[in-house]
Amino acid sequence: MIDYITGTITGLNPACVVVECNGIGYSLNISLNTYTALEKADKCKILVHESIREDAHILYGFATSDERDLFRQLITVNGVGAGTARMMLSSVAPAELREAIISGDVAILKGVKGIGLKTAQRVIVDLKDKIGKHAGSGEILAFSDNTAREEALSALVMLGFARNSAAKVIDNILRENRKLQVEEIVRKALKLL
């Protein structure tokens, strides 16, 4: 699997970027958010999601891991393919999209071209827990940087702590200060676990 490509941008439009790496030009489908991030750049490191099908090998590119993670969560929803997920990320910023899913805001999701009421409701039902649910309590949390929370949680689980216990401690830490970096969250959590 290709995780990222670093190289020179040889072609860029709102739907696609061509990145030349070691003499090979990789064409990647992108969202408008990624296009905006790459607009003034000559070189880039673009994160990749590969879609390998029987009839095609398609690469999707992302400027940030947050956007790629959200894309990967969206395509797990029944009825949301890669094209629809890219359209959602082009229409709404990743942070706003996460907030809409957590808060159950069907109107924002329905505002995306190609998303009807049933699909919007399915996205909310399928992803609400994955994006912001506090494990074990049923309380919905809307942290602005859910990526830092998830990375800190993964680090603690890899260190051998129980996922539920670690999640509770991290959520308590983030209630006090939502702008902590991953390292700070892990350090504080280690003192409390």
- Is residue 137 in a domain? no
Q: In the numeric block, which tokens belong to residue 40?
A: 């003034």
- Is residue 163 in a domain? yes
Q: What residues does 17 pair with on adjacent strands?
A: 12, 28
- Is residue 138 in a domain? no
Question: Is the separation of the CB atoms in 193 and 165 below 8 Å?
Answer: yes
Residue with tokens 């309590």: 137
| Residue 70: half-sphere exposure toward Cβ, Cα within 13 Å | 32
CATH at 164? 1.10.8.10
Q: In the numeric block, which tokens belong to residue 135?
A: 């494990």
Domain boundary among 131, 166, 182: 131
- Is residue 162 in a domain? yes
CATH at 103? 1.10.150.20
Question: Is the separation of the CB atoms in 141 and 132 below 8 Å?
Answer: yes
Domain check: are 50 and 69 in the same one? Answer: no
- Is residue 141 in a domain? no
Full DSSP string of 82-116: HHHHHHHHHHS-HHHHHHHHHHT-HHHHHTSTT--
Domain check: are 83 and 41 in the same one? Answer: no
Domain boundary among 62, 89, 108: 62
What is the band of 53 on the pLDDT scale with cuts at 50, 70, 90?
Answer: confident
Instruction: List the domain range (segments joined by +) for residue 124.
Output: 65-131
Question: Is the separation of the CB atoms in 31 and 91 below 8 Å?
Answer: no
Average of per-residue pLDDT across 72-101: 91
pLDDT digits (tens, 9 = 90+) for 123-162: 999 998 888 643 333 444 444 456 778 888 888 877 778 8
CATH at 22? 2.40.50.140
pLDDT digits (tens, 9 = 90+) for 11-38: 999 999 999 999 999 999 999 999 999 9
**What's the pLDDT at 146?**
65
Distance set, CA 83 to CA 59, 114, 162 (Å): 12, 10, 36
Amino acid at 158: M
Q: In the numeric block, which tokens belong to residue 54?
A: 């029987």
Domain check: are 8 and 19 in the same one? Answer: yes
- Is residue 140 in a domain? no
Domain count for the chain: 3
**What's the pLDDT at 186?**
84
Residue with tokens 């809409």: 100
- Is residue 136 in a domain? no
Mean pLDDT of all residues belonging to the chain: 86
